[in-house]
Amino acid sequence: MSEIKGQLLGIVLVVTIFGAVSTALVAAFNSATKDVTDAVENNTIKDPILPETEGINGSLNLKELLTF
């Protein structure tokens, strides 16, 4: 009987750990998605890669990157 209890406890612990890790990953991906969405909505990326494609305020136009 104690072996069954130990196995059930192990299963519960594994499910709990996977739940905690998945919650942390979902939060991280939601944060990254929000950052990317904000960058796309603003249509600019600060700190440009190519100086010859700089915009008015020293930012790189996202449309230029997508059509490159």
- Each domain of the chain, given as residue ranges in start order, spans 2-66
Q: What is the pLDDT tens value at each position of the chain, 68 positions in all?
A: 789 999 999 999 999 999 999 999 999 999 888 888 887 777 655 555 555 555 555 555 666 666 55
**Residue 16: predicted pLDDT:** 97
* Predicted TM-score of the model (pTM): 0.52
**Residue 66: predicted pLDDT:** 65
> What are the respective helix, strand and coil percentages of the chain, to the nearest 5?
70, 5, 20
Distance CA 52, CA 68 (A): 13
**Residue 44: predicted pLDDT:** 58
Close Cβ partners of 54 (under 8 Å, ≥ 6 residues apart): 48, 60
